[in-house]
Amino acid sequence: MELDGTVAQLVLARWGDHRPGLRFEDLVLSHHQVAAGAAARAALLRELLDARREPHIGILLDNTPEYPLWLSAAALAGAAVAGINPTRRGAELARDIRHTDCQVLLTERVHLPLLTGLDLPGVRVLVTDSAAYAELLAPYEGAEPSVSATVSPASRMLLYFTSGSTGAPKAAVCSQRRLAAAGRSLVTHFDVRPDDVHYICMPMFHGNAVIADWAPALAAGAGTALRRRFSASGFLDDVRDFGATYFTYVGRAVQYILDTPARDDDRAHPLRVGFGTEAGAVDARRFEERFGVRLVEGYGSSEGGAAIQRTAGTPDGAIGRAAPGDDLAVLDPGTGAECAAAAFGPGGRLLNGDAAIGELVNRGRSPFEGYWRNAAADAERVRGDGWYWTGDLFYRDADGYFYFAGRADDRLRVDSENLAAAVIEAILARWEPVVGVAVYAVPDPVAGDQVMAALALRDGVDFDPVGFAEFLLAQGDLGTKMAPRFVRVVERLPVTATNKVARGVLRGEGFRCADDGEVWWRPRGGGAYRVFAEADVAGVVGEFRERGREGLLG
């Protein structure tokens, strides 16, 4: 049996290691106890799984110790884990469980109501905080770790859903080989040591927490500390209590932490690095200034098809360069031609976004392992030439550094000029009153799009239309088409379960006034922002009606 390069091998390595390995609230388990718990669950799993069906289990849990224990058990038993999102409901939730062919579903009492009335034929539900579960597991307690004969580096390990903006979520496949390799790579990149403690506060049903946080801790023999659900107010106390040295983040988590009241002891903690995506350069700088912790913005497509490494000398605003040996390019999605190198003007303004922004494509060997039972989605990612199309917008400078410009569906076209939402967001995030910003397209009554921005402001701060306009004028890298025509002021941006901004919700609501905030606008030819009143709404709707485009308003 070939175990080199498997997650199972990493689990076995922790047997006999009596250092603290897993912390959760007041519970502390040694690495040995974690391996023993995984061994017991793997033995139970072998009894539960029907060999005639796919060896898949679903996990519908918060970040409790059962989650990493069952991940480790699945690795030993040669099973694949489907992370089930507890924010899904009804038919969509049932679809996720059925689509990934789960034989067993692990859940807890708090989530049982989500399963009421769902059609889940052939799925055995185990409630991990029940007496029945304890009785079921009891005969296997004390088992030593053993690896099923079917386990190999190619064995499926994860089926994790990508957070696409349209259609049903796709379940990306991740093998034991890829997960173990990702863990080892991050150990090297961040110099993870056995005495480190990885704080897992992002949801473990998402690839970020498992691939970028749990896997490197397992590979290095470092400890892990779990937070049931992310809490900005509890973040720093957890870091201190657990002795955490490393954490990962996605979406707006960093903004939420920065929005907590500053304290005199904000730098009194052992944390040394955070790794994630979408914090943005402004918030990363604020985080380091306040907490003394370096945030490393990385890029790796959820499916594993392409990755960019940040190295010393990476310019501000850039993600990094392609890893050695990788052939990454920015291509025009329409023609397949390589986009022009980015040209910058004073203040770092991108001068040729229309020619430079395109889709990031891996033209070399890709570790993408496909989607579960979704050939159409596979074909969209890997095209006839074997290249992997990420679905993400980037531009690249003359020195080969890549800059993230948003998802492909976050592109705006204003007056025949292509713009990227992420570029505008990075500029608007500099405005001191802002704690959260999302830029998205709303339709133009004539053609193309108009720029709209949703702003979440600091507590107790009202939107200052004059101050905001003056701020925009002072930004040397804000192109003439980038300034928002509409500004929606909200208490908090709508987010997905993984703290990513739900731009689909914002786009769907458009520029109309909403109950949870107010909308301001700058009429054509007018330099000042003013409230978008009912009379203004009627006037804009009239423009769309006159041109036969009213249907675009939804």
User: At 357, which CATH number?
Assistant: 2.30.38.10
- Whether 428 and 404 map to the same domain: the answer is no
pTM of the entire predicted model: 0.80
- Is 436 within 8 Å of 455 (Cβ atoms)? yes
Which domain does 452 fall in, by range? Answer: 424-553
Q: Assess if residue 390 is contained within a domain.
A: yes
Q: What is the pLDDT of residue 289?
A: 96
Read off the CATH number of the domain in which 474 is found. 3.30.300.30
Q: Assess if residue 462 is contained within a domain.
A: yes
Q: What is the pLDDT of residue 416?
A: 56
- Is 143 within 8 Å of 115 (Cβ atoms)? no
Read off the CATH number of the domain in which 154 is found. 3.40.50.980
Look at residues 312, 309, 325, 233 and name the one whose alpha carbon lies nearest to residue 275: 309
For residue 145, the one-letter residue type is: P
Alpha-carbon distance of 247 to 2, in angstroms, equals 32
- Whether 405 and 429 map to the same domain: the answer is no
DSSP conformation class of 210: I
- Whether 34 and 166 map to the same domain: the answer is yes
Q: Assess if residue 269 is contained within a domain.
A: no
Q: What's the domain count of the chain?
A: 3
Q: What is the pLDDT of residue 543?
A: 82
Q: What is the pLDDT of residue 550?
A: 67
| Torsion sign over Cα 379, 384, 388, 393 | negative
Q: Assess if residue 212 is contained within a domain.
A: no
- Whether 529 and 480 map to the same domain: the answer is yes
Alpha-carbon distance of 109 to 125, in angstroms, equals 11
Q: What are the distances in angstroms from CA 551 to CA 309, 313, 544? A: 44, 49, 8
- Whether 361 and 469 map to the same domain: the answer is no
Cβ neighbours for 234, distance < 8 A, ≥ 6 positions apart:
227
For residue 248, the one-letter residue type is: T
Residue at which a domain ends, from 352, 374, 409: 409
Q: What are the distances in angstroms from CA 185 to CA 28, 72, 323? A: 27, 19, 11
Alpha-carbon distance of 395 to 373, in angstroms, equals 32
Q: For residue 101, give the 3-state DSSP assignment.
A: coil
Q: What is the pLDDT of residue 447?
A: 66
Q: Assess if residue 306 is contained within a domain.
A: no
Q: Assess if residue 222 is contained within a domain.
A: no
Cβ neighbours for 47, distance < 8 A, ≥ 6 positions apart:
none
- Whether 353 and 430 map to the same domain: the answer is no
Q: Assess if residue 429 is contained within a domain.
A: yes
Token pair, residue 355, equals 């020619």
Look at residues 61, 80, 84 and name the one whose alpha carbon lies nearest to residue 71: 80
Q: Could you give phi then psi for residue 33, rounded to 5 degrees?
A: -65, -35
Helix/strand/coil percent split, the chain, to 5: 30, 25, 45
- Whether 40 and 167 map to the same domain: the answer is yes
Q: Assess if residue 129 is contained within a domain.
A: yes
- Whether 34 and 154 map to the same domain: the answer is yes
Residue at which a domain ends, from 409, 440, 465: 409
- Whether 400 and 519 map to the same domain: the answer is no
Token pair, residue 170, equals 């796709």
Q: What is the pLDDT of residue 515?
A: 58
Residues in the chain predicted with pLDDT less than 70, given as ranges, are 1, 163-167, 409, 416-418, 447, 513-516, 525-526, 547-552, 554
Q: What are the distances in angstroms from CA 225 to CA 8, 208, 427, 534? A: 21, 15, 35, 51
- Whether 368 and 429 map to the same domain: the answer is no
Alpha-carbon distance of 383 to 392, in angstroms, equals 15
- Is 418 within 8 Å of 406 (Cβ atoms)? no
Q: What is the pLDDT of residue 166?
A: 45
Alpha-carbon distance of 300 to 280, in angstroms, equals 16
Residue at which a domain ends, from 409, 437, 456: 409
- Whether 160 and 14 map to the same domain: the answer is yes
- Whether 375 and 487 map to the same domain: the answer is no
